């Protein structure tokens, strides 16, 4: 099976995860892809194929080397983002992209314009997999799954390539920050691993945001508006006041590179009760802690304005910067760079402006840099996947495995 066909089969599954369902996987529909993949891995001939009660799928490619080779792992996630529908994805392949604005849906007037998405120009002449403009595509991270499975298939059919044992895993709920929570690092049994969950061709990432979620509950007092003076506390107005106190230009739409931010996700309520939900991000640990304190101070300021405690903050750390766990093992990044150069890919080391399961796994004892999966403009209808990037990412998995054995 060609990797494109494999990828297209995966995006036919709706695997959108969901916040606050209180179960793992967070949505039952993720099981459909998990069971499909389990059977596919068994049919390929992988060993130790196991789908556990939490929806985590593990499998082993046995080593064929006569010498001891470290067991390494490759990981991707099955869910797609809650930000955009992944139901009834209708992908199509644009052959030999010509460099012009890309019409996704003529009837609805949905167009990926070069002015807005200039990264399209880096892929002129390539075949691109796109959506019909009504859903996301799901390359994040079904491209990663396809690349890993294709690499396993290739190695099984090319026993002349010497390699050590390889473990693979596909997990649910990465998009809601829970992908690594039930990942069994001990059972996985690797010294290190790689997530295939990055973006553009050539990306290697071993730095990411420190991340926290904040929920601020505001309790108001409802009184008839005609007699409210000195009595009413309008919770939704107080929530708006707190939201306005966040730094105006420290938001996702105004920041880049190593700049952190506050991101207001939702604000809802009425006179009696309101809730704000936001996320906090920063690569630097000290600035990260300062940002969390800023939110606490903003709530304290609101309480002072009201003359009594009306705002309660719940802060939850989600993940930390994996750099401190990966840097002591520089060879795991150097092997990726060497493999890329061998395949004619220019390595692009960059910091993730987000998170990945690899960050949490690194702090669970499994150092886990992130490698490109090839897609761009994730989490929305303008997502696209260049086929050459998909193919090269899979070839890279094979080359990393090969080099790991050669260096053992």
Query: In the prediction, which pLDDT does 356 show?
Result: 77
Q: What is the pLDDT of residues 205-253, one digit of tens each?
A: 999 999 999 999 999 999 999 999 999 999 999 999 999 999 999 999 9
The CATH H-level (homologous superfamily) assignment of domain 3-208+321-407 is: Zn peptidases (3.40.630.10)
Query: In the prediction, which pLDDT does 236 show?
Result: 96
Beta strands in 361-406 (DSSP E): 370-372, 384-386
pLDDT value at 282 more than 90: yes
Q: Alpha helices of 254-386 — where are they, by DSSP H?
A: 285-306, 323-326, 331-342, 357-363
Q: Using 50, 70 and 90 to split pLDDT, how confident is the model at 43?
A: very high
Mean pLDDT value of segment 355-361:
85
Could you tell me where in the chain the CATH 3.40.630.10 domains are found?
3-208+321-407
Query: In the prediction, which pLDDT does 319 show?
Result: 86
Query: In the prediction, which pLDDT does 318 show?
Result: 85
pLDDT value at 355 more than 90: no
Could you tell me where in the chain the CATH 3.30.70.360 domains are found?
217-319
Q: Using 50, 70 and 90 to split pLDDT, how confident is the model at 91?
A: very high
Q: Quick check: 235 and 303 in contact, CB under 8 A?
A: no
In sign, the C-alpha dihedral spanning 336, 338, 342, 345 is positive
Q: Using 50, 70 and 90 to split pLDDT, how confident is the model at 20?
A: confident
Q: Using 50, 70 and 90 to split pLDDT, how confident is the model at 373?
A: very high
Q: What is the pLDDT of residues 295-326, one digit of tens each?
A: 999 999 999 988 999 999 999 998 899 998 99
pLDDT value at 29 more than 90: yes
Mean pLDDT value of segment 7-29:
96
The pLDDT mean for the chain works out to: 96
**H or E stretch covering 74:** strand 72-77
Catalytic residue among 153, 174, 175, 250: 174
% of the chain exceeding 90 in pLDDT: 95
174 in active site: yes
- Taking only Cα atoms into account, the Rg of the chain, rounded to an integer number of angstroms, comes to 23
Q: What is the pLDDT of residues 383-392, one digit of tens each?
A: 999 999 999 9
Query: In the prediction, which pLDDT does 177 show?
Result: 84
**Residue 120 gets which letter from DSSP?**
G
50 in active site: no
Q: What is the pLDDT of residues 52-67, one digit of tens each?
A: 999 999 999 999 999 9
Half-sphere exposure of 359 (CA within 13 A, CB side): 23
Measure the CA–CA gap between 325 and 197, rounded to whole angstroms.
Answer: 18
More confident of the two residues 264 and 356: 264
Catalytic residue among 79, 173, 357, 383: 79
Rounded to 10 degrees, the C-alpha dihedral 387/376/54/213 comes to 170
pLDDT value at 82 more than 80: yes
Pick the CATH number of 217-319 from 3.30.70.260, 3.30.70.360, 2.40.37.10, 3.40.50.300: 3.30.70.360
Query: In the prediction, which pLDDT does 1 show?
Result: 87
């Amino acid at each position: 099976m060609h990797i494109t066909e494999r990828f297209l089969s995966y995006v036919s599954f709706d695997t959108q995860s969901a916040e606050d369902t209180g179960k793992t996987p967070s949505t039952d529909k993720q099981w459909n892809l998990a069971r499909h993949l389990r059977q596919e891995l068994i049919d390929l001939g992988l060993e130790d194929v196991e789908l556990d009660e939490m929806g985590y799928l593990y499998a082993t490619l046995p080593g064929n080397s006569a010498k001891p080779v470290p067991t390494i792992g490759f990981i991707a996630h099955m869910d797609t983002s809650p930000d955009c529908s992944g139901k009834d994805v209708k992908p199509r392949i644009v052959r030999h992209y010509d460099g012009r604005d890309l019409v996704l849906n003529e009837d609805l007037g949905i167009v990926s314009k070069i002015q807005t998405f200039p990264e399209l120009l880096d892929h002129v002449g390539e075949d691109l997999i796109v959506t019909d403009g009504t859903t996301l595509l799901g390359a994040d991270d079904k491209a990663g799954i396809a690349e890993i499975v294709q690499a396993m298939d290739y190695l099984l059919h090319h026993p002349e390539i010497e390699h050590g044992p390889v473990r693979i895993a596909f997990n649910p709920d990465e998009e809601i920050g829970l992908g690594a929570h039930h990942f069994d690092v001990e059972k996985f049994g690797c010294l290190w691993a790689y997530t295939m969950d990055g973006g553009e061709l050539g990306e290697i990432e071993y730095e990411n945001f420190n991340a926290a979620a904040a929920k601020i509950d505001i309790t108001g007092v409802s009184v008839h508006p005609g007699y409210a003076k000195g009595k009413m506390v309008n919770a939704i107005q107080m929530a708006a006041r707190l939201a306005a106190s966040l730094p105006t230009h420290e938001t996702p739409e105004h920041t880049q590179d190593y700049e952190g931010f506050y991101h207001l996700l939702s604000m809802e309520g009425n006179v009696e009760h309101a809730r704000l939900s936001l996320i906090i991000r920063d690569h630097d640990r000290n600035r990260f802690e300062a940002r969390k304190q800023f939110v606490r101070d903003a709530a304290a300021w609101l309480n002072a304005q009201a003359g009594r405690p009306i705002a309660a903050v719940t802060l939850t750390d989600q993940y930390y910067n994996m750099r401190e766990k990966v840097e002591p093992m520089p060879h795991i990044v150097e092997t990726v760079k060497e493999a890329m150069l061998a395949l004619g890919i220019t390595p692009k080391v960059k910091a993730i402006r987000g998170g990945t399961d690899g960050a949490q796994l690194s702090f669970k004892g499994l150092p886990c840099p992130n490698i490109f999966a090839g897609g761009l403009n994730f989490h929305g209808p303008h997502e696209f996947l260049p086929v050459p990037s998909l193919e090269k990412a899979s070839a890279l998995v094979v080359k990393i495995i090969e080099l790991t054995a050669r260096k053992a």
